[in-house]
Structure 1
Amino acid sequence: MRTEQQMMDLILRVAEQDSRIRAAYLNGSRTNPNAPKDKYQDFDVVYAVTDIAPFASDNGWLSVFGPLAIMQEPSRIDLAFGHEPDPFRRHTRLMLFADGNRIDLTVAELDLAVAEYTKDSLTLPLLDKDGILPQIPPPSDRNYWVKRPTEAQFQGNCNEFWWCLNNVAKGINRDELPYVMEMLNVYVREALMLALDWSVGIETSFSVSTGKAGKFLKLHLSPERYEALKKTYPDGDYAHIWDAVFAACALFSEISRETAAALGYHYLVGEEVGTLRYLRAMRNEWEVLRKGETP
């Protein structure tokens, strides 16, 4: 596997040698001083170009980066599903190479690339042939820090968590496993992860990022709380799913009550009580159904 330095040298050399590429910069975790470093991190690169058409229409020029294992062009997939991308302003290729390195490479028109340059706090300039890139602070993950919720946001998230659990329960009792997993691992989990984010935010004065999909939560939660989170991930066995549901309820209740106390917000206990009563009744019905009896 090529080293980070070899990859950065290659990315920069391609930009330097192509007169159509006028500037280049790096985004993402490799610019983040707080992100754990390893060889699996992507190289999120933007090339600012004078004419995007040749770059967007031809993949031949990409061979300089090495043999590919697989590549994805999101705009072409969007087009296939009836969405209307704008490939002549920006075009992105996600490239996984045979040696395991990955480059997420965006080519963008000069004005667009410059306009977006200052929007992401995780930005590191690599090349500026014409002095078109404005001055920016050193890379920081401040744009991604957990945000303090308003009371309305807090209560809305609590309502979303407790409400969506009824769909999980109904799906279990109807033996609709794909639906159950969608409800639990998308809608319910999204509310749970947001609650965990807020809990971490309170502990850190809202000055850290938990990463995409909570990938850094393990760094910020106590071992006991992280173990509690792990118990909310079930397999396809309904008995295990019920255990995960009640594990999620216990964890969500604990952290949300703490958040309400810390921020001076009102926690709507009635929503929790009513939902738990319903879930217990539905689990009892499932136990009867599992035995082949009529509930």
Structure 2
Amino acid sequence: MSASVDGLLVVDKPSDWTSHDVVARARRLCSTRKVGHAGTLDPMATGVLVLGVGRATKLLTFLVGADKDYDATIRLGQGTLTDDAEGEVTSAPGAKDLTDAAIAAAVATLTGDIEQVPSAVSAIKVKGERSYHRARAGEAVDLPARPVTVSRFDVHDVRRGDVDGLPVVDVDVTVTVSSGTYVRALARDLGGALGSAGHLTALRRTRVGGFGLDVAHPLAELEARQGETMPVVPLADAARAGFAARELSADEARTIGYGQRLPSAEPGRTEPVAAFGPDGSLVAMLDESRPTARSHVVFAPASS
């Protein structure tokens, strides 16, 4: 059985698998219990699921905050309990008179910095219990709006049809969104902005931060390689691909390794910075938001 390697394993998640299912399978394939993921994908969704293996699980906290790309299909004219195709239909006003121009105008109102009410079946806790538990039990869930950024909301195709006699419009889109944005909620809100209803019928995540489908491995491919070394992106390479980099001198690497601080290279940076030693190894993830940089986490402690 192959030994585990510290790094990121980027999986192209199949439909009908939960993120937890994929993590459980990766633990067996990588021969370690130390596997986590950087952002859940719903079971119906496919695409990029970034897994941390070994010490790279410490990188996941920072990757969760990365922006993401999705390809999606939004059905206008029907709303569901879950805002996607897996939930029961809760409203069916139809979409008989929706024009392409009206759809484009509504998309524009949902682009940029917006306030979004998360889906009622999200994992957000309400009085200690997950929102989705309350919603599926029939309880009305009132979640507060939160600021999110939709930096891209492109419409590729608009198709008109009907479902059991109900006129609907299916809209194929690509979105780029900040962490914490619910694409299901975008579908719901697009329908609402058009005086109708909406939900997702398909969702594929194509990028998380610096990791896209070009480096993602289908789960079936990984299972076929069971017993071999998994195609894990090494820790230092993963950090370089995902974050801003800072090169440290030997003395600076030692200082950070002892848990001490350094002057920030670019004070005011809000994103985490990956700091590398002269040998190319990942020393730490730094917070350079202030004049003095501190370590979020140290990967190479200095020896005494």
Task: Bin the TM-score by the shorter chain.
Answer: under 0.3
Q: TM-score scaled by structure 1?
A: 0.25
Higher RCO (C-alpha under 8 Å, 6+ residues apart): 2
Q: Which is helix-richer, 1 or 2?
A: 1
Q: Which has the larger radius of gyration?
A: 1
Kindly indicate which of the two structures has a greater share of residues assigned to strand.
2
TM-score by length of 2: 0.24
